[in-house]
């Protein structure tokens, strides 16, 4: 059946300008880190992407190594894009990244010009695109001069294979240096993608100030702390949960009492815990967008509804700080 986007899609959520650029991003963006690889049913991935766009989610965020196996999330997205979204290309912001392990040998990760530009070509091939809207350096490389890494991003934009350049997981100091280099090259950095949540506030220790000064946007990932800030662990650790099955989260990281206390506060606001956690990350105007993942359409809809929540009161913000306590210290 031919997909036709919902005519009311742009009435569903706000769009925020990324720093001092001309680009606006939806308050909620969809990340394809999990749930879009070859290990997941294609029709489920397709249903999530379709519903996301119908809800006004115009930004789909990928990376070269997303999916099981590596690259499969981009292939899945490319297949669905050809079927459903090619007519809407100019309404979409599609981003990808390179920096982590992708292929064997010395040229398959980190931040060299050779790796970044080769990876971008491969990503475009997997997705069947002529360009991406944002191309990121996924992490800083301690052994490659920052000038080389930023020069590769500048080249990606000047070649027309990316419209904007971004960075992810860079410290405040590294971000300031990268922004200076890119300004001198004539291709300002659009955005930074760091981790951020109620229990992981490291970006409040200087990065947000740096981004504001540099005129860059901020799109945060892991706002639900890999599921800790959802109702998934209110009764303990289910056998099929990420904490029990994934290398990215362990049972030792689960704090059931913290989750229950936050859930009680969320219910008093008329929200789920996940919705409150997402709303909280968007409370700072320097945060352009929040990245969510979704394993089902229902989960997607619940999370996107965070934009309908009430503004936080000072008492609520204070209560959240008291509940999260030491876990919310600025530092990864």
Q: For residue range 269-303, what is the model confidence (pLDDT) as tens digits?
A: 999 999 999 999 999 999 999 999 999 999 999 99
The two beta strands, 93-98 and 132-137, are: parallel
| pLDDT, position 332 | 47
- pLDDT confidence of 226, banded at 50, 70, 90? confident
User: Would you state the structure tokens that stand for residue 87, as one six-digit string?
Assistant: 């007519």
- pLDDT confidence of 131, banded at 50, 70, 90? very high
Q: How confident is the model over 172-181, as a mean pLDDT?
A: 98
**C-alpha to C-alpha distances, 79 to 28, 45, 71, 212, nearest whole angstrom:** 23, 11, 13, 37
pLDDT at 261 over 70: yes
- pLDDT confidence of 165, banded at 50, 70, 90? very high
Element (H, E) at 118: helix 113-127
Burial class (CB in 10 A: 0-12, 13-18, 19+), 103: middle
| pLDDT, position 211 | 98
| pLDDT, position 330 | 47
Q: How confident is the model over 140-146, as a mean pLDDT?
A: 98
**C-alpha to C-alpha distances, 104 to 55, 63, 101, 108, 268, nearest whole angstrom:** 39, 17, 8, 6, 51
What are 72-128's pLDDT values in tens digits?
999 999 999 999 999 999 999 999 999 999 999 999 999 999 999 999 999 999 999
Out of 23-37, 38-52, 207-221, 241-255, least confident range: 241-255
42: left (phi over 0), alpha (psi -120 to 50) or beta: alpha
| pLDDT, position 331 | 46
pTM for the predicted model, two decimal places:
0.93
What does R_g of the chain's alpha carbons equal in angstroms?
19
Tell me the percentage of the chain whose pLDDT exceeds 70.
93
pLDDT at 246 over 60: no
């Amino acid at each position: 059946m031919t997909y036709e986007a919902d005519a009311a899609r742009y009435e569903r959520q706000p769009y925020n300008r990324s720093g001092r650029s001309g680009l606006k991003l939806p308050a909620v963006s969809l990340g394809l880190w999990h749930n879009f690889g070859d290990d997941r049913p294609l029709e489920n991935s397709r249903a999530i992407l379709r519903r996301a766009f119908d809800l006004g989610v115009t930004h789909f965020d990928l990376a070269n190594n997303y999916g099981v196996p590596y690259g499969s999330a981009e292939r899945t997205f490319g297949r669905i894009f050809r079927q459903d979204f090619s007519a809407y290309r100019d309404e979409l912001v599609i981003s990808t990244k390179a920096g982590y392990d992708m292929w064997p040998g010395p040229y398959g990760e980190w931040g060299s010009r050779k790796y970044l530009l080769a990876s971008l070509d491969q990503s475009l091939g997997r997705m069947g695109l002529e360009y991406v809207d944002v191309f990121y350096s996924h992490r800083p490389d301690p052994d490659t001069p920052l000038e080389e890494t930023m020069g590769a991003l500048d080249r990606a934009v000047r070649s027309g294979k990316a419209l904007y350049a971004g960075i992810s997981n860079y410290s405040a100091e590294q971000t300031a240096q990268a922004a200076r280099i890119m300004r001198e090259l004539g291709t300002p950095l659009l955005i930074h993608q760091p981790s951020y949540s109620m229990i992981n506030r490291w970006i409040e220790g200087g990065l947000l100030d740096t981004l504001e000064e540099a005129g860059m946007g901020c799109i945060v990932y892991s706002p639900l702390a890999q599921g800790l800030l959802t109702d998934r662990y209110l009764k303990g650790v289910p056998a099929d949960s990420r904490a029990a099955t994934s290398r990215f989260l362990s049972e030792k990281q689960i704090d059931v009492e913290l989750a229950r206390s936050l859930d009680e506060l969320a219910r008093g606001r008329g929200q789920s815990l996940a919705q409150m956690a997402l709303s909280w990350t968007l409370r700072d105007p320097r945060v352009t967008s929040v990245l969510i993942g979704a394993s089902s359409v229902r989960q997607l809809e619940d999370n996107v509804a965070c934009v309908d929540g009430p503004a936080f009161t000072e008492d609520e913000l204070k209560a959240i700080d008291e509940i999260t306590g030491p876990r919310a210290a600025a530092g990864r």
